[in-house]
Chains A and B, each alone.
Chain A
Amino acid sequence: MLFCKGGPKADLLIRGARCLDPSESLDGSFDVTVTRGVISRLEPAGSRPDRNGHRVVEAPGLLLTPGFVDPHVHLRTPGREDEETIASGTRAAAAGGYCAILAMPNTEPVVDSAAVLGALVESARREAEIPVGFLAAISKGQRGGELTEQVELADAGALGFSDDGHPVESAGLLRRGLQYSAVAGRPLALHCEERTLSRDGQVHEGEVSAELGFTGYPSIAESAMVGRDLGLAAHEERPLHLLHLSARESVELLRRAQADGVRATAEVTPHHLCLTHEAVRSLDPNLKMNPPLRADGDRAALIDALRDGSIGSIATDHAPHARHEKEVPFEDAPFGVTGLETAFAALYTHLVVSGLISLETLLARLTAGPAGVYGLKPPRLAVDAPADLVLLDLSAGVTVRESAFHSRSANSWLLGQELQGQVRLTVARGRVVHEL
């Protein structure tokens, strides 16, 4: 269940773009007609001069693909509306080419009851620019003590459950949560961190943390928990989604579990795909995130897993923070960076242009992959599909600037960087939600 405000459905004729949808094996120049928000015709470019009253978007040289789905966003609402609101976060998502995003429940208060979730759903219906879905907490207050009411929450709209921001420390509680998740049929999404190993750690334990003097946050703090959680999922024969993987060892465990038939999915963030711990040498608080940026070998393993599909989703983990909270020494800054508005350009520039993955793979991991994790219909470029589209200019260079952000926060790791790939038009659920 996704929620957004209503509005006029678009009548569009997008002419001459290269249309690429890996899930439909579609790649060629087409004229795409959208009628009342639904793709009504898909014809070879130039074959349909008839506008039929539709607004025409001339798009030769541009790329039209299914809109992106972000399975991991922090909208900071309720509680920290100074950092992000449903309106600002979904507006930012629209600017990033997203047609659906999922919000994490680690808000103030935590989304752990149908009452809190119901209020969010109402707000989303009023102010969400693009469809937004909600995850609810696994445990009440995300305190790791008692399970939330999964069935009532699922009925109220929860697409899945997560204590993101915190690991589920008790293996016993997670086991019960997995068992019980069979009733509501919604997946559990896990932040894997063994806190007795990561304690006080801010930077990947390795050469950079040793040199800079940071307490190391070792890879084993993640992979030990990944191993435990995959073991539980195997034992209970329940699906499991692993949030924001960062370590090579975690990828190896995931692959082994998948080969053994465990229904495990996983996501990775743009920053873990594009950067390593070397970037932390600048001591810029916008390079501080949990899990931390890791070594070259970890980044390579994540890219490999993205390529072969072991990791099926790219998630921004968009984590807005107030300016004054990040304008402090690195060690005092909170974890997290924004990402909705820059994800495509960052990934296109650092992974596709540099030849590490194909454009098709990138698009699959930004669309069908994350949609599948939570049982959403993947956006498609096909006749009769709802218009969830993004029109991209791959040749356009963009300098990332704070003044261009729609998010209420600007804690981006990309500020000032020159990237390639610009979102020109986003259509979500048949409405034009972003246009340059």
Chain B
Amino acid sequence: MTEMHLVADELVPPAGPERRHLLAIGDLSADDVQRLLATARSFARSLEREMKKLPTLRGRTVVNLFYESSTRTSSSFELAAKRLSADTMSIKATGSAVDKGESLKDTALTLGAYEPDVIVVRHPRIGAPHLVVRHTRAHVVNAGDGKNQHPTQALLDLYAMQEALGRLEGLQVAIVGDVLHSRVARSLIQALRLVGAEVLLVAPPTLLPRGIEALGCECSFDIGAIADADVVYALRMQSERMQEGANYVPSLREYSALWSLTPERLRPGQRLMHPGPMNRGVELDGRVADAASALVTEQVRAGLVVRMAVLYDLLVHGPVEAKVTELEAVA
């Protein structure tokens, strides 16, 4: 039995160093981040034209494999691939063989048989994209794995911050809310540190993971500490964390009283961000979300060009700026 498995495994050669993935912000250097943001800016300019489609990834296939519900991430990956002329396939856990109990490995092998160039994976469990890497030949993009990482969200957040504030280095960003359960927070802290921004986490002590300071951020449970921040980033408070017996906070009422972002707690000029979907009245006051200083729609818009940049960067080798310029000429 063991022997049979061995033969099957040996048919898939180990991934060469040239097969790149985006699994975590930790995989990127500061230069990688700057290159991706620059590519995204080029795409943003090209999208301002009437003809929005670029031929760059014609003939390439991008598979979106989503085991969790998602509006922003799945739609923007799909649109990003289409804007680059790639063929796309979207597989959702419900309504697929996953419903029949197919393992992630078998789903990966099945999709791998179509030889897709990129598989974008969202999964509720940590390590799922890493498993897809082991069982396919595709470039794998992590679109969120459990509480671990959501790297494209962090990149689009950087993009939106840079567009709005003109810089990233030295920027002070306060991240407020349920850091413990947030893959968005983890990716964002790392990405911000990579580009030289300062990060402050503000949360109830029960929702700050022990050891998180090792990522190079400050921690506080005093909402007043956000006063000096250029950007205040609200995290989604997930309802299941509030269930009776979870005891992360005594009640939603007390959480909102102490940590909800209200107009009184934000200073004029502070920019508000939120990865969505928002719980108005829980982690923030609706007025804050709707204020002109909020960057929430900018984040969504950034998602499209940043995901285009990620797909482009994984699939097109060579000096990026030059090629984008060529592309713009073609477009």
**Which residues of A does B touch, CB under 8 Å?**
205-216, 218, 282-283, 285, 323-324, 327-332, 402-403, 405, 408, 410
Pick from B3, B6, B130: contact of A283, CB below 8 A. B130
| B97 beta carbon closer than 8 Å to chain A | no
Question: Is there contact, CB below 8 Å, between B126 and A207?
Answer: no
**Which residues of B does A touch, CB under 8 Å?**
2-3, 5-6, 26, 103-105, 123, 125-128, 130-131, 145-149, 181-183, 186, 190, 209-212, 214-215
Question: Is there contact, CB below 8 Å, between A211 and B210?
Answer: no
Question: Is there contact, CB below 8 Å, between A216 and B210?
Answer: yes
The 6 A-B pairs with the shortest beta carbon distances in the complex, nearest first, are: A213-B147, A330-B127, A210-B209, A207-B214, A210-B211, A283-B127
Question: Is there contact, CB below 8 Å, between B126 and A403?
Answer: no
Question: Is there contact, CB below 8 Å, between A206 and B2?
Answer: no
Question: Is there contact, CB below 8 Å, between A283 and B211?
Answer: no
Question: Is there contact, CB below 8 Å, between A213 and B146?
Answer: yes
Question: Is there contact, CB below 8 Å, between B210 and A328?
Answer: no
**Complex: how many Å from CA A349 to CA B145?**
35
Residues of A within 8 A of B146 (CB): 213, 329, 331
Question: Which of A208, A209, A282 gathers the greatest number of chain B CB atoms within 10 Å?
Answer: A209
Question: Is there contact, CB below 8 Å, between B125 and A210?
Answer: no
Question: Which of A212, A218, A327, A405 gathers the greatest number of chain B CB atoms within 10 Å?
Answer: A212
Pick from A209, A285, A329: contact of B145, CB below 8 A. A329
**Complex: how many Å from CA A330 to CA B215?**
22
Residues of B within 8 A of A410 (CB): 2
Count of CB-CB pairs between chains A and B under 8 Å: 89
Chain A nearest CB, measured from B66 CB (Å): 15
What are 13 A-B pairs with beta-carbon distances under 8 A? A207-B212, A208-B211, A209-B211, A211-B26, A213-B126, A213-B183, A283-B126, A327-B103, A328-B103, A329-B126, A329-B145, A402-B6, A403-B6
* Contact (A329, B214) CB under 8 Å given A324-B103, A402-B6: no
* Contact (A329, B6) CB under 8 Å given A210-B209, A211-B214: no
Chain B nearest CB, measured from A84 CB (Å): 13
Residues of B within 8 A of A323 (CB): 5
Residues of B within 8 A of A207 (CB): 211-212, 214
Nearest CB in chain B to that of A401: its residue: B6
Chain B nearest CB, measured from A54 CB (Å): 36
Nearest CB in chain B to that of A405: its residue: B2
Question: Is there contact, CB below 8 Å, between A328 and B126?
Answer: no
Question: Is there contact, CB below 8 Å, between B126 and A214?
Answer: yes
* Contact (A332, B212) CB under 8 Å given A213-B148, A327-B105, A403-B2: no
**Complex: how many Å from CA A210 to CA B147?**
10
* Contact (A331, B127) CB under 8 Å given A210-B215, A213-B148: yes
Residues of A within 8 A of B123 (CB): 329
Question: Is there contact, CB below 8 Å, between B2 and A205?
Answer: no
Question: Is there contact, CB below 8 Å, between B2 and A212?
Answer: no
Chain A nearest CB, measured from B325 CB (Å): 37
* Contact (A329, B104) CB under 8 Å given A213-B146, A283-B130, A402-B6: yes
Question: Is there contact, CB below 8 Å, between B131 and A213?
Answer: no
**Complex: how many Å from CA A206 to CA B104?**
29
Residues of B within 8 A of A210 (CB): 209-212, 214-215
Question: Is there contact, CB below 8 Å, between A205 and B103?
Answer: no
**Complex: how many Å from CA A408 to CA B102?**
24
**Complex: how many Å from CA A207 to CA B183?**
15
Question: Is there contact, CB below 8 Å, between B186 and A213?
Answer: yes
**Complex: how many Å from CA A327 to CA B130?**
11
* Contact (A329, B2) CB under 8 Å given A206-B211, A210-B209, A213-B146: no
Nearest CB in chain B to that of A324: its residue: B103
